[in-house]
Amino acid sequence: MSDSSSPSRESGAIESSAIDIRGIGKRYGATPVLESIDLDVPAGSKTVIVGSSGSGKTTLLRLLSGFDFPDAGTIRIGSDIVAGPGVAVPAHRRGIGHVAQDGALFPHLTVGQNVSFGLDRHERGDRTAIVAELLELVSLDPSLSSRRPDELSGGQQQRVALARAMARKPGIMLLDEPFSALDTGLRAATRELVAAALSAAGVTTVLVTHDREEALTFGDQVAVLRDGRLAQVGTPVAVYSTPADLATARFLGDAVVFDAEASGGRVHCALGLVAQSSSLVGACTALFRPEQLVVGPLLPGADAAGCVARVVAVEFQGASQLLTLELAGTGSIEIPVTGASAHRRGDQVVVRALGDAVVFAAS
């Protein structure tokens, strides 16, 4: 990249780019890996592609980055087609930053040298100051610049990798499960810092993960990939609260399901009559998230609206307890209860539903 095409650090925010994916297909031999993928990633937004192992999410990221090319469809970055019939723009010409699962830092270089490795050789200004600015952007103290990667925590190493990727001021950042190797507490803290840094820089971001909590907390948009196809795309609230199908619902969170009959905007299930989120009529499956279910004592002589159940197990989980309840004729369900539960094994309780049931037509 020439000096004339590389803006100085003082030139302002990164110019982010939208991503437009249409009809993407990819095969390895006779095996289809991706089929008919359509996805819009708005400029400056954060999109999470989530799926289990083998769903095709890593392949999709490789197609976006330019490390591989589709067999069908087109990929457009901004106004430019970078992959499609007769077009195959290589990775180094796409203006994309990439952070791998392990960070891929150079172990023989210092933190500062790793970050400055990402700078264009014609970068104007004091390179030491630029490295310090990039480290501060990812919430790292510039004094760490002289350390080696093995002297940093896993979360710090991932943020150095992000700073190195951002050194070239890419319009798009691809994150390939960059937090999966970190322990739970460090993972959440690092994820928040990285998300804040990317938002502050205005970089269009695509994160690939198999972690449902990560998917729901990181992005503005979640794309659920299953067996090489997009099962659902929407905001985190939408895909969790109104999943497109039962498989998506169960992948994104714990679910309690009952056989039910729908009519007149309500469903009749083991919990009684409950409002539904659609206008479905007939035999169906009613789905509730565990946090929608409230457990109360069965008081003598009281109206037992809801479902009478028996507590068969109480599992202590710190700030909450997990109740396993046996429902007459419907098997058992598990419900988390915040705080110390007054319920004990053998107690009779009443389970009631809050909010609407999500319903799916019986197969």
pLDDT in tens, 136-151: 888 889 999 999 999 9
Residue 80, strand partner residues: 77
pLDDT band at 169 (very low <50, low <70, confident <90, very high): confident
Say yes or no to pLDDT of 208 above 90.
Answer: yes
**What's the pLDDT at 6?**
33
Say yes or no to pLDDT of 363 above 80.
Answer: no
Contact 72, 24 (CB under 8 A): yes
Long-range contacts of 317-326 (CB under 8 A, 24+ apart): 323/295, 325/295, 325/349, 325/351
pLDDT band at 3 (very low <50, low <70, confident <90, very high): very low
**What's the pLDDT at 223?**
97
Say yes or no to pLDDT of 305 above 80.
Answer: no
Say yes or no to pLDDT of 13 above 70.
Answer: no
Average pLDDT over residues 26-42: 95
Q: Which amino acid is at 278?
A: S
Percent of the chain with pLDDT over 90: 53
Least confident range from 5-14, 68-77, 238-247, 304-313: namely 5-14
Contact 100, 141 (CB under 8 A): no
Contact 354, 293 (CB under 8 A): yes
> Residue 336, Cβ neighbours under 10 Å: how many?
17
Mean pLDDT taken over the chain: 87
Percent of the chain with pLDDT over 70: 91
Contact 42, 18 (CB under 8 A): yes
pLDDT digits (tens, 9 = 90+) for 325-343: 998 767 788 888 876 667 8
Say yes or no to pLDDT of 78 above 90.
Answer: yes
DSSP-based three-state secondary structure for 217: helix
Query: If you average pLDDT over each of 37-46, 112-121, 262-271, 295-304, which comes out highest?
Result: 37-46
User: pTM, whole model, 2 decimals?
Assistant: 0.85
Write down all domains in the chain, each with its CATH number in brackets.
3-246 (3.40.50.300), 254-361 (2.40.50.140)
Contact 247, 226 (CB under 8 A): yes
**What's the pLDDT at 10?**
42
